[in-house]
Amino acid sequence: MIELRHLTYFRTVAETLHFGRAAALLHISQPPLTRQIAALEKELGAQLFDRSKRAIQLTPAGKYFYRDTTEIFKVLERAKRNVSSSSTGKSGSLKVGFMMSSAYNILPSVTRHYSAAFPEVDMRLTEYVPNLLATDIEDERVDVGIMYRPEDCSRLVSHTIYAEPLLAVLPKDHRLADKAAISVAELAQDPFVNIPRSIAPVVFDIIVNHCQSNGFRPRIVLEANLQQTIVNLVGEGLGVALVPTSMQAMHLETTVFKPLLNAPMVEVAVIWNKENSNPCIRTFADTAVEVWRKLRPVGN
């Protein structure tokens, strides 16, 4: 049976055309090397070297064999690189889930930087609402997500990327539309459009608690699963809402965004299952943190 060491012996002799020098390079004595080459020739049923002259030469069969073993070693090196890359997160596949508000903020830059840094990773992106994303990460149907921190992180790793303040989104003709900033207490009599607690419990609780700490419980008249839908419904005059600052990027003509006094913060994190061993998760999480460091406003 031909072993890899036999091919290495052959190629070293073929490249030096001298058994003594080849033996020295291989750190073995010459007689065993000569015997191994003879055994290889017997196994192949062909003479690889012409030993009839003072300087040995490759036979036509030896030249063909050298060419073919070159391809073998190229494949082997590629296999070694692939193993190394896959074990360090430089290649492989990665299923990424994201909530839509991140698409107005960090997601485009993260995916662009990650694809440039790790072109051999097959990255698949899918939009989710937060509660379903957390469930699919727990069940390892998704490798990693960019989302609000879930209520229960017991099975998950949660690495906060950034926190952004909530702001008020109002219809364009709202009575407070011309103010530079508002207190949420000024919205106590307004109907609210809000995300359901079942979809994003942490965000729902932050909004309700902020209103209650300012003396009222919001009168929620309409619920929508997606932040961009909430903003659109506000633009139709169906109420007011508190949304993450990143939603300002929608630039709707029918709405105005107003900073809140003492605005509560919402954390956005990279989330993954602690039992998921996909090495690409770590490189993606590191990229997300590094990208935000470059994007974040000075002083934040």
Sign of the C-alpha dihedral, residues 211, 212, 215, 219?
positive
Place of tokens 């030469």: 57
Quick one: pLDDT at residue 299?
44
Strands (E), 172-280: 191-194, 219-223, 241-244, 255-259, 265-273
Alpha carbon distances (Å) from 41 to 5, 36, 93, 189, 193: 14, 9, 43, 93, 81
User: H-helix or E-strand containing 114?
Assistant: helix 107-117
- List, for residues 157-178, the tens digit of each pLDDT value: 888 888 899 999 999 999 999 9
- List, for residues 82-118, the tens digit of each pLDDT value: 565 455 567 788 999 998 888 888 889 999 999 999 9
Query: What proportion of the chain, given as a percentage, has pLDDT over 90?
Result: 63
What is the rounded CA–CA span in Å between residue 49 and residue 220? 88
What is the rounded CA–CA span in Å between residue 242 and residue 263? 10
- List, for residues 199-209, the tens digit of each pLDDT value: 999 999 999 99
Nearest Cα to Cα of residue 134 among 230, 62, 203, 31: 203
Half-sphere exposure of 252 (CA within 13 A, CB side): 21
